[in-house]
Amino acid sequence: MTEQPKITLHWLDHSRSQRIVWLLEELNLEYTIKPYIRTGGPRAPPELKAVHPLGKAPVLVVEYADGKEKVIAESGHIIAFLIRNFDKESLLTPDNTDAFDEVEYYLHMCEGTLQPVLTFLLVLNTAASRAPWFVKPVISSFVTKVFELYNYKEIILCLDFLETKLGENAAKLTASSQNLFFVNNKLSGADIIFALPVGEICIIGDKLSHLVDKSKYPHLVRWAHEIRERPAYLRAMEKTGQYEKPKEQEQE
């Protein structure tokens, strides 16, 4: 049996890194977490630049027996790499070409369409919260207007699209006990990538979920709760819980 390469995940608190921990658990891989904690603001600590020039997380470092090392950045790329190279039991591997193309689309759609809108909103909110008191009302009003005219509409557009897709998949389930997934009713990279922006931020968490009318997204709500109940997801949360700062200490 071939020895598994040494896998190290450079993980940042309250970030997209958590999805990779979940995937590593689903794949039953051995790995080490190298934690990084935000200090003094929302930016990642500068130490991450020693791992990858862009200084962002997650970053996956894979060390092979022959001494070769791969440094892999970008969440979608990491997800695709892990499934392609380490999913020996085809637990998350798409069953056919059409399913593969659909998963690949979702990896790009999440990071290229949905996530930038959410990140832009974070930047705007940070600017409003740090504005001098004498201009804060003006800045806050501006941020609210931008959110109403652009960010919110784009977020809802994405959620409507994903709700429709899950609704189509729900109609294909043969038993009420079956879980709901984005592609071919099987866990895939699509579910992993959407876990944070859709599941945690828009549906369950306290960042934007209060702005989303859950009654309009019954399938997304069901999906979000089902993935959070998976044993691998729970193990991932337990493993990283020791590194997370309490939310009241977070810098926005």
Residue pLDDT, tens place only, 127-177? 777 777 777 777 777 777 777 777 889 999 999 999 999 999 999 998 877
Q: Which long-range contacts (CB under 8 A, 24 or more apart) does 137-143 make?
A: none
Helices (H), 46-86: 75-86
Q: Are residue 78 and residue 181 in the same domain, yes or no? A: no
**Looking at the predicted structure, is the pLDDT value of residue 252 above 50?**
no
Prediction pTM value: 0.90
Residue 252 lies in a domain: no
* Residue 219 domain-assigned (yes or no): yes
Of the residues 51, 75, 92, the one at which a domain ends: 92
Residue type for position 63: E
**67 and 163, same domain (yes or no):** no
Q: Please, which residues bridge with residue 62 across strands?
A: 7, 70
Helix (H) or strand (E) holding 10: strand 6-12
Q: What's the CATH code of the domain at 160? A: 1.20.1050.10
Residues 173 and 208 in one domain: yes
The verdict on 25 and 142 lying in the same domain is: no
Give residue 214's domain range: 97-238
- Alpha carbon distance, N-terminus to C-terminus of the chain: 47
Whether 126 and 233 map to the same domain: the answer is yes
Q: How far apart are CA 151 and CA 144, in angstroms?
A: 10
CA angle 14, 33, 59 (to 5 degrees): 70
d(CA 90, CA 83): 8
Provide the domain count of the chain: 2
Residues 17 and 138 in one domain: no
| Residue with tokens 């968490």, as numbered in its chain | 205
What's the Cα-to-Cα distance from 105 to each of 23, 109, 159, 205, rounded to whole Å? 18, 6, 16, 25
